Structure 1
Amino acid sequence: MTEGDLEIYLSDLLKERKYLVVVDDVWQKEAWESLKRAFPDSKNGSRVIITTRKEDVAERADNRGFAHKLRFLSQEESWDLFRRKLLDVRAMVPKMESPAKDMVEKCRGLPLAIVVLSRLLSHKKGLNEWQKVKDHLWKNIKEDKSIEIYNILSLSYNDLSAALKQCFLYFGIFPEDQVFEADNII
Structure 2
Amino acid sequence: MNEEIIGFEDVIEKLRDQLIKGTKERDVISVVGMPGLGKTTLAYRLYYDKSVASHFEIRAQCCVSQVYSCKDLLIAILRGAISENFECREKQADELAYLLRKTLFSKRYLILVDDVWETSVWDDLRGSFRDSNNGSRIILTTRDHEVAMYTKIRSDPLLLRMFNSDESWELLRKKVFGEESCSPLLTEIGQEIAKKCGQLPLSVVLVAGILSEMEKKVECWEQLANNLGPHIHKDSRTVIEQSYQILLWSTFRG
Give the alignment's TM-score, normalised by structure 2: 0.54
2:114 and 2:224 map into 1 onto residues whose CA distance is 32
Query: Superposed, which structure 2 residues align to 1:3-82 within 5 Å?
Result: 3-82=93-172
Q: Return 5+ residue gaps in structure 2 as ranges.
A: 1-90, 250-254
1:27 and 1:154 map into 2 onto residues whose CA distance is 27
Query: Superposed, which structure 2 residues align to 1:69-148 within 5 Å?
Result: 69-88=159-178, 90=180, 92-127=182-217, 128-138=219-229, 146-147=234-235
Higher strand share: 2
- 1:132-180 CA distance string (max 9 Å, x none): 4334423xx6x68512x44235444554559xxxxxxxxxxxxxxxxxx
1:117 and 1:101 map into 2 onto residues whose CA distance is 12
Partner of 2:239: 152
Post-superposition offset of 1:70: 0.5
What letter matches 2:224 in structure 1?
V
CA contact (8 A) 2:117 2:143 kept: yes
Higher mean C-alpha displacement, 78-87 vs 48-57: 78-87
Post-superposition offset of 1:110: 1.2
Q: Return 5+ residue gaps in structure 1 as ranges.
A: 163-186
1:161–1:6 distance in 2 versus 1, CA, 3 Å: farther
- 1:109-136 CA distance string (max 9 Å, x none): 1122223322432332222443443344
CA contact (8 A) 1:25 1:50 kept: yes
Post-superposition offset of 1:89: 5.8
State the secondary structure of the residue aligned to 1:86.
helix
1:145–1:15 distance in 2 versus 1, CA, 3 Å: same
Higher helix share: 1
The CA RMSD over aligned residues, in Å, is: 2.6
Post-superposition offset of 1:26: 0.3
State the secondary structure of the residue aligned to 2:106.
coil
State the secondary structure of the residue aligned to 1:151.
helix
Partner of 1:172: none
1:155–1:45 distance in 2 versus 1, CA, 3 Å: farther
Give the alignment's TM-score, normalised by structure 1: 0.71
1:145 and 1:119 map into 2 onto residues whose CA distance is 15
Number of residues of Structure 1 aligned to a counterpart in Structure 2: 158
1:155 and 1:48 map into 2 onto residues whose CA distance is 38
Higher mean C-alpha displacement, 149-158 vs 105-114: 149-158
1:126–1:145 distance in 2 versus 1, CA, 3 Å: closer
CA contact (8 A) 1:107 1:152 kept: no
